[in-house]
Amino acid sequence: MSKISASETPTSDVIVIGLAKVESRDGKKFRPVSSGFKIDEVSLAKALAEIGATGAKDEVLKLPGINQKLLVVTGLGAHAENYSHETLRAAAGAAARSLAGIRKASFSLPHKDSTGFAAIAEGALLGSYSFDRFRGKTKNDQKPPLASIEVQTRFGRERSILRRAEILAKNTHLVRDLINTPPSHLTPITFCEDIRSLAKKLTLKIEITSDSQLKKLGFGGIIGVGQGSANPPRLLHISYQPKGAKKSLAYIGKGITFDTGGLALKPAQGMEAMKSDMSGAAAVCAAILAIAELKLPIRIDAWAPLAENMVSDNATRPSDVIKIYGGKTVEVLNPDAEGRLILADALVRAAEVAKADKKRKFEGLVDVATLTGAQVVALGTRTSAVMTNDESLSKRFLSCAESTGELFWPMPLPEDLRASLDSPVADIANIGERMGGMLVAGLFLRDFVAPETPWLHLDIAGPAYNEKYPHGYTPVGGTGVAVRTLVALAEVTARR
């Protein structure tokens, strides 16, 4: 991870400033903006016009400096008196990405309070990421991420703000690493071991349920999905129980280490992206690690049902019936709708454990999953969906997302679609009406949550994995989406 510090005046000879779009009567189209970095604006404007600068978001230009070694200009879009924290986060991230190979840079971006300061720190750290674990001879050609970040600020230079940014970035990077790790190297077992070694350092309770135990205990969803693979399934449970916590939340993440579709085999085109089908599991594990390191005063339980959805003579067949933990039966009409099966097991178990804790008020279940292609069709690749049985929990979550800059949008669970999941042979079928497939998946999960238990379902199928080009602080590959908002939800819920 890059180092981070704050300073009132820049001490590096690589300086990052902002460029805003303006429309002024004298024909000016952009304006350099900073947090007090002194520069000859006239000659800078001339140079920027010369190289076609616009100030658009995600435009990063590098100029050889005169007083400094390098001047980096990062686009902020339309000029504003007070830039939104997400604009600052993205602009800092884009600049940081362009500075791979550089030792140190000072970020002088315009902000009016400590929220802006925190956003710049987060963006710069999140943008300083690379994944080269599986490179051989080409490893040395890769430039390492910007090593040291200095944020120029007059606001709240407290160490706590930087520490929070570091913890969020470190754990977001962990999610990205897990997603980017190929399924040849990331199996349910190695996932558990990686997380176990991190959880140990924070003295978290960790419990890993093996395939034979899962079978005995009746986790038919995880077993049914995992039984076609040579890499056996697991249920990972991490518990953070700080002394004096009066509330609790349970986070549940879909952990399919590779989704071939099973006997409903996916076409080769695009299947490679299904190494990202454990993004939800990675996000909830990273979130609890961050929450524990931040010492938030709330009990959190993270659950990661882990399985590989493969094709074999042992794989679940379309029409097989399985029994979810707790006893409900499911007719598996489509083995490619596997995420909801492993989540159903974990939701039932998570609620059981949460309700057994009589000392704390249980504030709800939050599941996170790359659940449906329909989510991507509905909301695109950058906006995640939120479904719920509890409007006030959903509102609280959405306001957390507003503060972290992660894009989430509320989606309904229409009653009329529920009937399409009725099965002629079992309690419920695992697929229903194709139209509105994201909502049907949400309705399926709702069947495994007691109506009085507050519950949120986050479908992150699009945003979890970036297959196109990098932007803002988001690299290509695993993005780490949901971690920041899950941490914020724990912060806000603890304070309530």
> Which residues form the catalytic set?
266, 340
Helix orientation angle between 188-201 and 159-180, rounded to the nearest 10 degrees: 160
Distance CA 218, CA 82 (A): 55
Give me the least distance between CB of 434 and ligand BES, in Å please: 7
- Beta bridge pairs of residue 247: 361
Give me the least distance between CB of 128 and ligand BES, in Å please: 26
Q: Quick one: which segment of 21-29, 201-209, 227-235, 367-375 binds ligand BES (CB under 6 A)? A: 367-375
Contacting Mn ion within 337-396 (CB under 5 A): 338
Binding residue for ligand BES, selected from 65, 242, 326, 373, defined by CB under 6 A: 373
Is 308 a binding residue for ligand BES by CB under 6 A? The answer is no
Q: Which does 461 bind (CB under 5 to 8 A by kind): Zn ion, Mn ion, ligand BES, none?
A: ligand BES
CB closer to Mn ion out of 259 and 308? 259
Helix, coil or strand: residue 133: coil
Site size toward Mn ion (CB under 5 A) is 3
When CB distances to ligand BES are compared, the closest residue is 373
Sign of torsion, CA 393 397 398 399?
Answer: positive
Nearest CA-CA partner of 151 in 316, 304, 5: 5
- Beta bridge pairs of residue 17: 73, 108
Q: Which does 166 bind (CB under 5 to 8 A by kind): ligand BES, Zn ion, Mn ion, none?
A: none
Per the CB < 8 A criterion, the answer to whether 123 and 93 are in contact is yes
Distances (CA, A) of 252 to 23, 340, 343, 454, 461: 48, 12, 7, 14, 15
Is 229 a binding residue for ligand BES by CB under 6 A? The answer is no
> Could you say which DSSP state residue 471 is in?
B
Contacting ligand BES within 410-439 (CB under 6 A): 431, 437
Q: What are residue 467's phi and psi, to 5 degrees?
A: -95, -5
Give the amino acid at 98: S
Site size toward ligand BES (CB under 6 A) is 16
Q: Quick one: which segment of 108-116, 219-227, 258-266, 279-287 binds Zn ion (CB under 5 A)? A: 258-266
Distance CA 310, CA 232 (A): 11
Q: Which residues contact 22 (CB under 8 A, 6 or more apart)?
A: 28, 29, 30, 31, 55, 79
CB closer to ligand BES out of 101 and 380? 380
Binding mask 326-355 for ligand BES (x = CB under 6 A): --------x-xxxx----------------
Distance CA 21, CA 363 (A): 44
Is 277 a binding residue for ligand BES by CB under 6 A? The answer is yes
Give me the least distance between CB of 248 and Zn ion, in Å please: 28
Binding-site ranges for ligand BES (CB under 6 A): 259, 277, 334, 336-339, 370-374, 376, 431, 437, 461
